[in-house]
């Protein structure tokens, strides 16, 4: 099993270097390699998922070797319930995204090159257990994003790409500052998370240090988790990005922010987070309501979904602020659910945009008649997004509300109200797009027909339904991991 977890980040990266050698014209081979690599990594994640022993606490499949002994940098991998869940999310989304990427027409080779680098780097973030490599992979994801959005994007793409890159980098460097201070403070001269955890269990960090450094990590990683008011890169960036980048970014990359908070801030600086949980919960609450209202006013489909994802990330951040086992488990489950849902929605919008090059809500109408399969998927994804029972989003939001009620009753009431706002813009969007009179301009739209076109959406929605009816499937591995984080 160890070799699989070691290969997860490096296989896509090596494949990326490999496809540089394939001539540009051979598009078939390029596509086959990309899809093959993404399926192989996804299957490896599935195997790891089934091999994972839910009864055991602590990290599994741990492997470690010294990288730079002088500074205590190790290359260490391992999985617990949290990053395994996120690996599963990435496995699903990266596979679906690879299939979608193949419809790209221009400069396909370069696109797939960047796509594979991005995929590998994300696996790197979700498997590493060393602060240095966590950060290294985290920032590596930035390399491909700028050209991917800049070259293959649409509408205001240069501005969107630059804004997204600079915002996320600024967040990342602020967090890195926190990491450097943390490294210095522990006095262990190691970046090895397991070793640090063992040491801090008996020697917790001084309180005033936690109070100073925890907000650095929260704000730094909060940027990519689109914490209000640092969210403004997100709708613009997603609107500009090509389909599979929106899928990966809204689906998976955004979850790296909360994940790194789970990995670095919650276990090591719990008092720091509790100290700042009041402001954090208020910001999360504002984000939920504000982004919801902003979504109501949007006319562009991708902006609606972009703001909607900002709003949903607010629930995750609220769960983190609450710092109770139920809320944190709910937050992890929501990272998974929202990721799958967002990827599905962006994939569907991209499919339509390819044909019509129109993204306005009012450009469409009656799609349930012209393209029934697409409409069914779109309605299902929207229902998942507004938290309909039966989709895993419902279970996770419920857990967050239950877990944070006792600490922030007022904000939770606002957050519950936020679901109403969500329902408002989503139902309106569904109504205008899928029902009503057919726009004569698009009476001959092509539906999602072939197997390889349908597969990504069936997989993503299937996962949402599966874990909607059986949340225990994920919670049974998440909850013990949360138990370790919060002693």
Partner 1 sequence: MNLSLLIPEWTALGVLLVLLIGEISWKDFSRKYSGLVSLAGCGVVFLALLLGRNHYGSAFSGTFEVTPLSVFFKMFFILTLAPVIQMARDSFENSMKNPGEYLLILWCTLIGLFFLASAKDLLLLFISLEIVTLSFYITAAFLKKDLMSIEAGLKYLILGSLASAFLIYAISLLYVMTGTTSLDGIRTASSILNPPPLMMLSFVFLIAGVGFKIASVPFQLWVPDVYEGAPSPTVAFLSVGSKAAGFLIGLKVLVAGFPFLSKELTLLFSVLAALTILYGNLGALLQTNVKRLFAYSSITHAGYLMIGIAAGKVSGVQALLFYLAAYGVSNLAAFSVITLVGKALKNDRLETYKGLSQRSPYLAGMMFLALLSLAGVPPLAGFFGKFYILLAAVQAGLSWLALLGLLAVSISLFYYLTLVKKMYIEESVQTSPIQVSSGSRVLLAVLALLIIVVGLWQAPLLSWAGQAAASLF
Which of these segments, 161-169, 260-268, 378-386, 476-484, binds partner 1 (CB under 8 A)? 161-169
* Phi and psi angles of residue 68, each rounded to the nearest 5 degrees, phi first: -120, 90
C-beta of 209 vs 469, nearer to partner 1: 209
Helix (H, G, I), strand (E, B) or coil at 167: helix
- Least distance between partner 1 and beta carbon 20 (Å): 9
In angstroms, how far is CA 118 from the centroid of its own chain?
13
Specify whether the CB–CB gap between 234 and 268 falls below 8 A.
no
C-beta of 259 vs 442, nearer to partner 1: 259
User: Rounded distance, CA 407 to CA 404, Å?
Assistant: 5
Size of the site for partner 1 (CB under 8 A): 33
The footprint of partner 1 on residues 71-90 (CB under 8 A) is 71, 73
Burial (CB count within 10 angstroms: exposed 0-12, middle 13-18, buried 19+), residue 449: exposed
C-beta of 111 vs 414, nearer to partner 1: 111
- Least distance between partner 1 and beta carbon 451 (Å): 34
How many of the other CB atoms lie within 10 Å of CB of 131? 25
C-beta of 153 vs 306, nearer to partner 1: 153
- Least distance between partner 1 and beta carbon 48 (Å): 24
When binding is defined by CB under 8 A, the residue of 40, 49, 52, 147 that contacts partner 1 is 147
When binding is defined by CB under 8 A, the residue of 166, 201, 410, 420 that contacts partner 1 is 166
List residues bridging with 77 in a β-sheet.
63, 128
User: Rounded distance, CA 284 to CA 319, Å?
Assistant: 9
C-beta of 174 vs 261, nearer to partner 1: 174
C-beta of 40 vs 143, nearer to partner 1: 143
The footprint of partner 1 on residues 175-214 (CB under 8 A) is 176-177, 180-181, 183-184
Interface with partner 1 includes 150 (CB under 8 A)?
Answer: yes
Among 224, 479, 469, 219, which Cα is nearest to 333's? 479
- The CA-atom distances, in angstroms, between 351 and each of 123, 370, 449 are 26, 14, 11
Burial (CB count within 10 angstroms: exposed 0-12, middle 13-18, buried 19+), residue 483: middle
Helix (H, G, I), strand (E, B) or coil at 232: coil
Which of these segments, 69-77, 243-251, 274-282, 370-378, binds partner 1 (CB under 8 A)? 69-77
- Least distance between partner 1 and beta carbon 224 (Å): 13
Beta strand ranges found along 3-108 (DSSP E)? 60-68, 73-79
C-beta of 62 vs 181, nearer to partner 1: 181
When binding is defined by CB under 8 A, the residue of 31, 157, 359, 407 that contacts partner 1 is 157
| Buried-state track 358-389, b at ≥16 Cβ within 10 A, e below 16 | bbebebbbbbbebbeebbebbbbbbbbbbbee
Interface with partner 1 includes 165 (CB under 8 A)?
Answer: yes
C-beta of 182 vs 262, nearer to partner 1: 182
What tokens were used for 301?
């489909």
C-beta of 126 vs 183, nearer to partner 1: 183
C-beta of 181 vs 388, nearer to partner 1: 181
- Least distance between partner 1 and beta carbon 179 (Å): 10
C-beta of 13 vs 448, nearer to partner 1: 13
Helix (H, G, I), strand (E, B) or coil at 447: coil
C-beta of 158 vs 472, nearer to partner 1: 158
Interface with partner 1 includes 173 (CB under 8 A)?
Answer: yes
Q: What is the DSSP letter of 93?
A: H
- Least distance between partner 1 and beta carbon 121 (Å): 9
The footprint of partner 1 on residues 113-142 (CB under 8 A) is 132, 135-137, 139-140, 142
- Least distance between partner 1 and beta carbon 177 (Å): 5
When binding is defined by CB under 8 A, the residue of 63, 67, 353, 373 that contacts partner 1 is 67
Specify whether the CB–CB gap between 149 and 129 falls below 8 A.
no
* Phi and psi angles of residue 230, each rounded to the nearest 5 degrees, phi first: -100, 20
- Least distance between partner 1 and beta carbon 122 (Å): 14
Interface with partner 1 includes 62 (CB under 8 A)?
Answer: no
User: Rounded distance, CA 310 to CA 53, Å?
Assistant: 34
Interface with partner 1 includes 26 (CB under 8 A)?
Answer: no
Specify whether the CB–CB gap between 459 and 92 falls below 8 A.
yes
User: Rounded distance, CA 141 to CA 19, Å?
Assistant: 19
Sites of contact with partner 1 (CB under 8 A):
67-71, 73, 132, 135-137, 139-140, 142-143, 146-147, 150-151, 157-158, 162, 165-166, 169-170, 173-174, 176-177, 180-181, 183-184
């Amino acid at each position: 099993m160890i070799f699989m977890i070691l290969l997860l980040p490096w296989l896509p990266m090596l494949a990326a270097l490999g496809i540089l050698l394939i001539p540009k014209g051979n598009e078939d081979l390029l596509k086959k390699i990309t899809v093959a690599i993404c399926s192989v990594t996804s299957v490896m994640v599935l195997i790891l998922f089934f091999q994972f022993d839910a009864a055991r606490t602590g990290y599994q499949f741990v492997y470690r070797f010294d990288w730079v002994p002088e500074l205590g940098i190790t290359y260490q991998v391992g999985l617990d319930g949290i990053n395994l869940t996120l690996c599963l999310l990435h496995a699903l989304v990266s596979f679906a995204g690879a299939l979608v990427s193949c419809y790209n027409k221009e400069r396909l080779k370069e696109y797939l090159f960047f796509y594979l680098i991005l995929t590998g780097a994300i696996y790197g973030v979700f498997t590493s257990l060393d602060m240095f490599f966590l950060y290294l992979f985290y920032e590596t994801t930035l390399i491909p994003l700028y050209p991917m959005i800049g070259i293959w994007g649409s509408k205001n793409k240069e501005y969107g790409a630059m804004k997204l890159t600079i915002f996320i980098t600024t967040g990342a460097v602020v967090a890195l500052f926190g990491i450097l201070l943390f490294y210095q403070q522990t006095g262990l001269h190691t970046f090895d998370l397991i070793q640090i955890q063992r040491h801090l269990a008996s020697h917790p960090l001084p309180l005033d240090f936690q109070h100073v450094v925890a907000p650095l990590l929260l704000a730094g990683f909060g940027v990519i988790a689109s914490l209000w008011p640092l969210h403004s890169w997100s709708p613009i960036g997603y609107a500009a990005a090509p389909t599979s980048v929106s899928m990966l970014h809204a689906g998976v990359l955004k979850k790296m922010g909360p994940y790194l908070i789970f990995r670095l801030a919650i276990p090591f600086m719990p008092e720091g987070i509790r100290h700042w949980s009041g402001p954090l919960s208020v910001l999360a609450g504002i984000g939920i309501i504000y982004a919801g209202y902003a979504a109501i006013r949007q006319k562009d489909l991708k902006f609606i979904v972009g703001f909607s994802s900002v709003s949903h990330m607010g629930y995750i951040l609220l769960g983190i602020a609450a710092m109770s086992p139920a809320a944190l488990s709910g937050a992890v489950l929501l990272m998974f659910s929202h990721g799958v849902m967002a990827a599905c929605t962006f994939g569907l919008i991209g499919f339509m945009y390819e044909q019509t090059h129109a993204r306005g809500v009012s450009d469409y109408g009656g799609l349930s008649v012209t393209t029934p399969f697409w409409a069914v998927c779109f309605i299902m994804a929207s229902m998942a997004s507004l938290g309909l029972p039966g989709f895993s989003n419902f279970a996770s939001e419920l857990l967050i509300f239950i877990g944070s009620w006792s600490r922030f009753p007022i904000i939770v009431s606002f957050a519950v109200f936020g679901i109403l706002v969500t329902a408002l813009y989503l139902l309106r969007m569904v109504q205008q797009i899928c029902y009503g009179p057919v726009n004569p301009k698009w009476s001959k739209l092509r539906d999602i027909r072939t197997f390889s076109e349908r597969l990504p959406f069936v997989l993503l929605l299937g996962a949402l339904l599966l874990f909607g009816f059986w949340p225990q499937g994920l919670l049974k591995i998440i909850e013990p991991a949360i138990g370790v984080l919060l002693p």
